[in-house]
C-alpha cells in the first residue's frame, strides 16, 4: 500500500510517500519520498511558535513539500487532474493553499497513491487545520481513503521502528510497551497493552520538557529551538569535568504518580540567572545542571512505571528523544536496573516532527479500515492517545 502522509501540527510542514507492507506487530516501510520544511528560522525571532505565523507558513509550503515528496518517489508526472465539486468548499478557508493546489492539479496527473494519512491532533489548531483541509482536498480529488492519525501515535510507533534494508521495520515488539513521549508540546507516559491500544499513565501538569529546554535556552540568550543548543553546551561542561556550579530541583520526582512538572525547574533557572551578565561558562554550567535535572525526573518516573507495568519494551519518542544525554542515561540505567526491558529510540531523523511517522501510524489504522469522511474530518488540538 502506498500512503501519502501529511504533518502540520506545529512548526514543520511535512509530506512523505511510504510503501507499506506487513501487518500488526511486523510491518515494513520504504520511504519513497520525503518533503520537510522547518519553520524554526521564522519562529526563532519570537523565541517560540506563533500559531498564526505557523498557519501562514504551512499554507505556503504544503504544495512545495507535496511536490518534493512525489518528485522523490518518481510520481510527479505531467497532466491534469479534474477537481471534484467539493474542492472550493473544502478549501474555502485556505486561500493561499487553494490557489497553489489548483495550479498543482491543473498541471499534474493523478499519482499512484492508495490513501492519504493526516495528523488531525493534538497540536496547534490553526496549524492542524491547514493540513487537514489539504488532506481532505487531496483524498477527494484523487478519490482515495483519508486516514486520520494521532500525532502522538506517530511518535510512539516511529520509535519502535528499526532501520533495515534501507527502510524501516517494526517487528518483535514485546508487549506491553511503555512509551515516554517527550516533545515541545507534550510530556507523557503511555502504555500500549495490546497493539494500538493505549492507557495514559501520566503527563505534564504544566510545561512540556521540550518547552522547558526552549525557555531555558532563551534565558541563556540561545536561539530557538533550544534543545540542541542546551545539549551542546551541557556536553562541553560534562567533558570538562567541572564540579557542579548549580543545583536545580527535581520537581515531582518523588510524587506518587506518573505526572511531571517542569515549570518550577524553569523558574529555578530564572532565579539563578537573575541580575547576572551571562558568560559562555554560565551557559555551559546551567545547561548541564538543567539537563541533569530534567533527565533525572524523566528517568525516575519512567523507571517507576516500568516496575508497575512490567513493560517488556520502553520506547522514547518526540523531539526531545534526540537528546544525547537522555539517550545515554536511559540506555545505561535500563541495563543496570531493568535488564529484561528492551529500549527503542528512533533514528535521529524520526525524533522531531516528520510525515514518515504519520504514514507509519496511518498504515496500521488503514489495515483496520479506520478511515475518515473527508467532508467532515476536523482538527482536534487536544486529542489524546488514550482516555485516562
Which residues sit at the interface with ligand KG4, rule CB under 6 A? 10, 183-185, 210-211, 213-214, 225-228, 231, 318-320, 322-323, 352-353
Residue 323 binds which one of Zn ion, ligand KG4, none, with CB within 5 to 8 A depending on kind? Answer: ligand KG4
Question: What pairing do the DSSP bridges indicate for beta strands 167-170 and 162-164?
Answer: antiparallel
Residue 210 binds which one of ligand KG4, Zn ion, none, with CB within 5 to 8 A depending on kind? Answer: ligand KG4
In sequence order, the 6+-apart residues with CB closer than 8 A to the CB of 52 are 126
**How far apart are the C-alpha atoms of 6 and 378, rounded to whole Å?**
15
| C-alpha dihedral, 91 to 92 to 94 to 95, nearest 10° | 120
- Near Zn ion in 341-370, by CB under 5 A: 353
Assess contact for 32 and 56: CB atoms under 8 A. Answer: no
Q: From the list 13, 28, 119, 183, which residue makes contact with Zn ion (rule: CB under 5 A)?
A: 183
Residue 154 binds which one of Zn ion, ligand KG4, none, with CB within 5 to 8 A depending on kind? Answer: none
Task: Choose between 231 and 285: whose C-beta lies nearer to ligand KG4.
Answer: 231
Residue 51 binds which one of Zn ion, ligand KG4, none, with CB within 5 to 8 A depending on kind? Answer: none
**How far apart are the C-alpha atoms of 137 and 142, rounded to whole Å?**
8
Of 335, 292, 291, 297, the residue nearest 314 (C-alpha): 335
Assess contact for 306 and 341: CB atoms under 8 A. Answer: yes
What's the min distance (Å) between Cβ of 123 and Zn ion?
A: 8
On the question of a cis peptide bond just before residue 122, with omega within 30 degrees of 0, the verdict is yes
Nearest 5 degrees, angle CA 22-CA 35-CA 1?
20
Contact range with Zn ion by CB under 5 A, out of 96-104, 183-191, 202-210, 217-225? 183-191
What's the min distance (Å) between Cβ of 225 and ligand KG4?
A: 4
13 binds Zn ion (CB under 5 A): no
Residue 322 binds which one of ligand KG4, Zn ion, none, with CB within 5 to 8 A depending on kind? Answer: ligand KG4
Give 347's DSSP letter. -
Task: Choose between 159 and 176: whose C-beta lies nearer to ligand KG4.
Answer: 159
What's the min distance (Å) between Cβ of 13 and ligand KG4?
A: 12
What's the min distance (Å) between Cβ of 129 and ligand KG4?
A: 16
Cell 501538569 found at: 205
What's the min distance (Å) between Cβ of 186 and Zn ion?
A: 7
**Sequence-ordered alpha helix ranges (H) in 47-185:** 51-72, 87-90, 95-107, 125-142, 151-160
Residue 131 binds which one of ligand KG4, Zn ion, none, with CB within 5 to 8 A depending on kind? Answer: none
Contact residues for Zn ion, defined by CB under 5 A: 183, 353
Amino acid at each position: 500500500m502506498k500512503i501519502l502522509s501529511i504533518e502540520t501540527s506545529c512548526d514543520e510542514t511535512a509530506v512523505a510517500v511510504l510503501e507499506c507492507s506487513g501487518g500488526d506487530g511486523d510491518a515494513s516501510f520504504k520511504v519513497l519520498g520525503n518533503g520537510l520544511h522547518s519553520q524554526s528560522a521564522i519562529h526563532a525571532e519570537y523565541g517560540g511558535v506563533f500559531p498564526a505565523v505557523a498557519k501562514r507558513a504551512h499554507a505556503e509550503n504544503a504544495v512545495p513539500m507535496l511536490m518534493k515528496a512525489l518528485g522523490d518517489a518518481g510520481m510527479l508526472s505531467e497532466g491534469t487532474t479534474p477537481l471534484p465539486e467539493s474542492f472550493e468548499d473544502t478549501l474555502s478557508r485556505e486561500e493561499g493553499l487553494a490557489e497553489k493546489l489548483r495550479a498543482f492539479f491543473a498541471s499534474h496527473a493523478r499519482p499512484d497513491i492508495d490513501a492519504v494519512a493526516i495528523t488531525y491532533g493534538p497540536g496547534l489548531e490553526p496549524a492542524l487545520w491547514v493540513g487537514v483541509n489539504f488532506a481532505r482536498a487531496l483524498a477527494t480529488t484523487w478519490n482515495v481513503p483519508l486516514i486520520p492519525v494521532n500525532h502522538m501515535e506517530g511518535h510512539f510507533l516511529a520509535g519502535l521502528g528499526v532501520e533495515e534494508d534501507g527502510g524501516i521495520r517494526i517487528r518483535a515488539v514485546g508487549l506491553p510497551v511503555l512509551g515516554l513521549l517527550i516533545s515541545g508540546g507534550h510530556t507523557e507516559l503511555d502504555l500500549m497493552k495490546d497493539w494500538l491500544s493505549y492507557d495514559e499513565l501520566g503527563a505534564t501538569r504544566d510545561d512540556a520538557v521540550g518547552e522547558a529546554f526552549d525557555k531555558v535556552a532563551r534565558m541563556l540568550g540561545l536561539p530557538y529551538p533550544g534543545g540542541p543548543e542546551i545539549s551542546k553546551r551541557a556536553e562541553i561542561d560534562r567533558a570538562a569535568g567541572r564540579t557542579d556550579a548549580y543545583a536545580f530541583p527535581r520537581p515531582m520526582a518523588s510524587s506518587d504518580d506518573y505526572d511531571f512538572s517542569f515549570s518550577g525547574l524553569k523558574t529555578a533557572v530564572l532565579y539563578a540567572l537573575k541580575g547576572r551578565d551571562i558568560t559562555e561558562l554560565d551557559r555551559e554550567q546551567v545547561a548541564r545542571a538543567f539537563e541533569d535535572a530534567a533527565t533525572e525526573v524523566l528517568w525516575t518516573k519512567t523507571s517507576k512505571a516500568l516496575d508497575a507495568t512490567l513493560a517488556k519494551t520502553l520506547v522514547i519518542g518526540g523531539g526531545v528523544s534526540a537528546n544525547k544525554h537522555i539517550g545515554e542515561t536511559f540506555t545505561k540505567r535500563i541495563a543496570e536496573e531493568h535488564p529484561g526491558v528492551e529500549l527503542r529510540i528512533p533514528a535521529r531523523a524520526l525524533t522531531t516532527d516528520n510525515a514518515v511517522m504519520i504514514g507509519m501510524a496511518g498504515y496500521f489504522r488503514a489495515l483496520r479500515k479506520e478511515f475518515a469522511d473527508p467532508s467532515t474530518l476536523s482538527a482536534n488540538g487536544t486529542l489524546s492517545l488514550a482516555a485516562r
